[in-house]
Copies of this chain bind each other. A is one copy, B any other.
Amino acid sequence: MRPLNVGLLGFGTVGKGVFDVLARNGGEIARRAGRPIRITWIGTRTLDRAREATRGAKGVHLTSDTGSVAVHPDVDIVVELIGGIEPARELVMSAIGAGKHVVTANKALLALHGNEIFAAAHARGVMVAFEGAVAGGIPIIKALREGLTANRIEWIAGIINGTSNFILSTMRDTGASFDAVLAEAQKRGYAEADPTFDVEGIDAAHKLTIMAAIAFGVPMRFAAAYHEGITKLTREDIRYAEELGYRIKLLGIARRKSAGYELRVHPTLVPTKRLIANVEGAMNAVLVKGDAVGATLYYGAGAGAEPTASAVIADLVDVTRMHTSDPEHRVPHLAFQPDQISDLPVLPIGEVETSYYLRMRVDDRPGVLADITRILADREISIDAMIQKEPSEGEDQTDIILLTHRSIEKRVVDAIRAIEALPTVRGAIIRIRLEDLA
């Protein structure tokens, strides 16, 4: 059969990974796909790099005019690996307009403009595949969209940002501060010069938005996603969490409830005995709870040249198989048929229901704990565990750490305000959310 011709937009780390893996495993991939998949065009600003990396490869044309690759008659599938919003958005839309199928690993683009992109693809009868956009090489999009179709998916909780998981793992292992670990990670190239997207949970919120859409059959609603980063986490809280049998992970959590769904990224205490609490370094893992299957977990490298290339090429094989088929035979982009998308809203963070870790500095005086527990009880917040430390020698203040049962966030926020107003409580209360994930 005729080979499938791929036009590659962008030749950074992942672009080169796709080229290398196709070159190395092309034979084995063709044994699966039923025909060869070959890169015919590469559109990139870094022509020299691409020329060097593709030296000796036959039939590969290079150009800096990415726009021409997106619509080129010798290209069947356009692979967008430029990243960011523009010009990626414009190129993807123009490829779709030209009737090309598109494979992309661009999570920001899909989280922000996915609704528009998938509507255009549906109207034009082409496929847009995006396994590489979430959790690198882990086939989590396929699992959610095809592997768990029997289930009402109840919730997803994922470690979906390798940089922040690396920082948190290292803080725990070494006892170093966030700033120190970040500086080290930047020096070694594990974290970007501007780490905002990673450490503030924005990158994780992009990926969570995409997973929630295909899990619940809802549109992409990144603007409504809540995100809170790891920059304010202290060694003390990591240590207290350990003492209570928990690890702190930056989780992306989407949970379906009757009035809407939760969509939130934040540091989270997770019981140490859960498998996901033991995911270390830059690795990713996604825990999915379905009503029939129960809890399932998917683990692997969440980034990197070849792991992401693995996902991109899996999409290429899928598209290779299906590109001449009737659209009704294809898996819907967002798992649910386009006319079956629900308008279930995202719940505001105040309506979220979860458990809490609260750490407060208090005067070591009789009655303090009674005041605090009264404030919690008045708001129907019940206490699951507590540590009260003896004051250090010569000090008259101490730390109290409380774990609450599940409660509505706005009640907890209200309780924190009331506790902070007590004359015996010093400074602000540290609040970290906690999920049992059973």
- Which A residues are closer than 8 A to B by beta carbons? 17, 21-22, 24-25, 28-29, 31-34, 131, 136-139, 142-143, 146-152, 217, 275, 278-279, 290-301, 306-307, 309-314, 317-318, 321-322, 324-326, 328-332, 335-337, 340
Contact = CB atoms under 8 A, between A and B. Distances in A.
30 contacts: A28-B152, A31-B217, A32-B332, A32-B337, A32-B340, A33-B149, A34-B332, A131-B147, A136-B293, A137-B294, A138-B293, A139-B142, A139-B143, A142-B143, A142-B147, A143-B147, A146-B314, A146-B317, A147-B314, A149-B317, A150-B314, A275-B278, A278-B278, A293-B300, A293-B301, A294-B301, A298-B298, A299-B299, A324-B329, A329-B329
B149 A314 contact: yes
Given A293-B300, A300-B297, A310-B292, A146 B142 contact: yes
Given A337-B32, A340-B31, A150 B290 contact: no
B150 A29 contact: yes
A306 B290 CA distance: 10
A190 to B, nearest CB: 16
Given A139-B143, A322-B329, A152 B300 contact: no
A306 B293 CA distance: 6
A25 B291 contact: yes
A293 B279 contact: no
Given A299-B299, A300-B294, A301-B293, A318 B31 contact: no
A106 to B, nearest CB: 18
A293 B278 contact: no
A339 to B, nearest CB: 9
Given A24-B291, A143-B143, A298-B299, 15 more contacts: A31-B340, A32-B340, A136-B293, A139-B142, A142-B142, A146-B146, A150-B313, A150-B314, A150-B317, A294-B307, A295-B301, A296-B300, A325-B325, A325-B326, A325-B329
A326 to B, nearest CB: 7
Say how many copies of this protein the assembly contains: 2
Contacts of A28: 152, 217
A51 B32 CA distance: 44
A173 to B, nearest CB: 12
A340 B27 CA distance: 10
B340 A25 contact: no
Contacts of A24: 152, 291
Contacts of A22: 150
Contacts of A325: 325-326, 329
A146 B318 contact: yes
Nearest to A32: B149
Contacts of A147: 131, 139, 142-143, 314
A131 B131 CA distance: 20
A330 B33 CA distance: 10
Nearest to A305: B292
A330 B335 contact: no
Contacts of A337: 31-32, 34
A386 B152 CA distance: 51
Nearest to A153: B28
Nearest to A141: B147
Given A152-B25, A337-B31, A293 B329 contact: no
Contacts of A324: 329
